[in-house]
Amino acid sequence: MKVLVTGGGGFLGQAICAQLRARGHSVRAFNRTRHAALEKLGIEQHPGDISNIEAVLSASESCDAIVHTAGKVGAWGPVEEYYDANVRGTDHVLAACELNGIRKLVLTSSPSAIRGSHGDLEGVDESVPYPVHFGTPYAETKALAEQRVLAANGAELASVALRPQFIWGPGDPNLLPRVLARARAGRLRLIGDGNKKIDTVYVDNAAEAHVLALEKLDIGAPIAGKVYFISNGEPVTHAFLYNAWLEAAGLPPETRSIKPWLAHALGAVLETAYGIVGAQTEPPLTRYLAEQMSTSNWYDIGAARRDLGYAPRISIAEGLKRLRAHLRGNP
């Protein structure tokens, strides 16, 4: 099978490309720029931007399937940027499937698609409805993209959406380096007592879930048109996760904390200030981040285990062991 991986040069995208190649598939990565890591794997690369429909059409020509991981992440920024990347970009992928006769589409969605005013989410499954109001443009646009992909499932296209929760591991360019940088600068704090539980997923496990979904997907297949939560199935507390990362980096544990209401208020002030001055960078704290770091956020992955045959191979303990070795070699 010839597979196009949009965002193939990203953290998750590279892991998906590597696993697809190892399983004998022909892989083409669609990225804004070329990546040396993909070159080493012998992955074909097609430069382009997901917001350019012509580029998406060209990249997907002659492909049998698309794994769509590309998009804009974060909790800050103009809504039009999130909409352009996450919604219009997905529309371009759907158009490419239709115009190029592609039968399979796997979307990387996010649990953020169902996070609104739910507060603590503890062991919930895929039956949780979309919220009426969203906390960030990212969450809302991921929900819109997910709905478009699932609605496109039919007689000519089989589609499925995965919601990996909190992807991490060696090479993570997102939250992990920010946590470590704040700890080194003495600016890291827990929000609340740190005892609320969250799900995470090691990057190789998240990638394998995408490969399993792709290989089981076909028109009329039982998983077609469905969405699945993906995690390690090992909920841990916020305090455990951040301090485990700090330990892996050779840093002391963090015990200092601030009240959730104060973190929320500080986030609101910082968002307002950054908006007034037109800052392009994300504030060090936002209301959404304060809410995420002070609430429970873990899910039932029974459906993925049953329907996809998903079983996380890399435990959190093993993932931390690998992270520790990586950080020692890449301080």
Complete DSSP assignment for 172-217: --SHHHHHHHHHHTT---EETTS--EE--EEHHHHHHHHHHHHHH-
- pLDDT tens track for 12-25: 999 999 999 999 99
Residue length of the chain:
331
Domains recognised in the chain with CATH numbers: 2-172+200-231+297-312 (3.40.50.720)
Q: Which helix (H) or strand (E) holds 264?
A: helix 260-277
Calculate the CA dihedral of residues 265, 253, 256, 174 and round it to 10 degrees.
-10
pLDDT of residue 189: 92
Percent of the residues in the chain that have a pLDDT greater than 90, as a whole number = 82
* Burial tier of 307 (Cβ tally within 10 Å: 0-12, 13-18, 19+): middle
- The catalytic position among 83, 130, 138, 202 is 138
State the chain's mean pLDDT as an integer.
94
CA dihedral 89, 90, 92, 98 (to 10 degrees): 170
Sheet holding 26-31, edge to edge: 44-47, 26-31, 2-6, 65-68, 104-108, 158-164, 227-230
pLDDT digits (tens, 9 = 90+) for 55-102: 999 999 999 999 999 999 987 788 999 999 999 999 999 999 999 999
Active site annotation includes 82: no
Question: In Å, how far from its chain's centre is CA 219?
Answer: 25
Question: Per residue in 56-88, is it b (16+ CB within 10 Å) or e — as a string?
Answer: bbebbeebbbbbbbbbbeebbbeeeebbbbbbb
